[in-house]
Chain A
Amino acid sequence: MSTVEETVEDLADLYVLEKSARGHNKGYVERIRQRRARAVRRGVPKAAVARLLGVSVNTLDKWIERGRIKTTLDSKSGRKLIDGQEAARLLIAVRVLRAQGTKDGVLAAAIQQLERGDPKYQRDFADLYGASLASMEAGSVRPLRLPDAFGPED
């Protein structure tokens, strides 16, 4: 995975954390996310975004041509670049859809959800991630390790 792809992954994870964080923590996470966003402020190559989303460049191109994914032109290379934060939001939506079992038309569904600010998506997000985030945040559940005294039949 390239550095730019890792940055988009980080941004996606930070968006998820920011959504669950409370009080001062929310501000800290937001600042970290903004700093990470600066690393990709010039944009992310289409091929990198396609790899992250698990779709082909052709599929991505289709949505760019329709004006549904915004791009900027890299003045040096002349390549189309996708905004890093938009790529991160798409990545989150694609993850949620795949976790729900969606196999076909994942990118189309993700774009539509982000465009609509769909309340169902917000609810599904909370259903899918809410408990995990809340329990992680509280440190209330942790990996189970059997006690040393456990025998093979225990």
Chain B
Amino acid sequence: MAEDFDGPWEIYQPSELDRQLEALAGRRAGLGNCLRLLSQDACHPDVGGYRLSGPLAPVVCGAHLKRGYRIAYSMQLPLTANDKPRVVVLYVGKREPSHRGATDVWDVLHDLFDVGNPPVGHHKSPCCDAGLPRIDHEALSTFLRALAQADRRRRRRT
């Protein structure tokens, strides 16, 4: 079901996310439906997007997918008058039942941004209530470098 998203928002991804996306085939996580909604409206209420708490709050929104999966995303405004705004999917992963651990989606994401994952008790305020999340050059570069390193490590193991 190869699909381009043709809503008012473009959906972007880091190249290193390919393997994660491929691994989700057959998992019935509902990622495709979530992305279709985000393409229509990055603040679509049916996505249920919420701000992460702690240091990533200005930068990242998260949303629940099905079967324990979560999506982390940010946004970029249009570059030129002819561009569409973008949702940048940063990570898709599974929430561990213990909410901690080397494979827990939020622990992994905070590690990739090189910031601490705050303790439990997050507010989960709606994603767009205090303006759109924004990712600046430095944060995105740090994240992409770390994601590329993690991807290389994963490839070496398999």
A residues bordering B, Cβ < 8 Å?
A: 9, 12-13, 16, 91, 95, 99, 126-136, 138-154
Contact = CB atoms under 8 A, between A and B. Distances in A.
Nearest to A130: B137
Contact of A126 (B25, B137, B140, B144): B137
B70 interface: no
A103 to B, nearest CB: 16
Nearest to A128: B77
12 contacts: A16-B79, A126-B137, A135-B144, A136-B79, A138-B144, A139-B15, A146-B21, A146-B31, A149-B22, A150-B3, A150-B32, A154-B29
Interface residues of B, number: 41
B29 A140 contact: no
Contacts of A95: 80-81
Of B26, B30, B81, B141, most buried by chain A (CB within 10 Å of CB) is B81
B144 to A, nearest CB: 5
Nearest to A139: B15
Contact of A148 (B2, B24, B27): B2
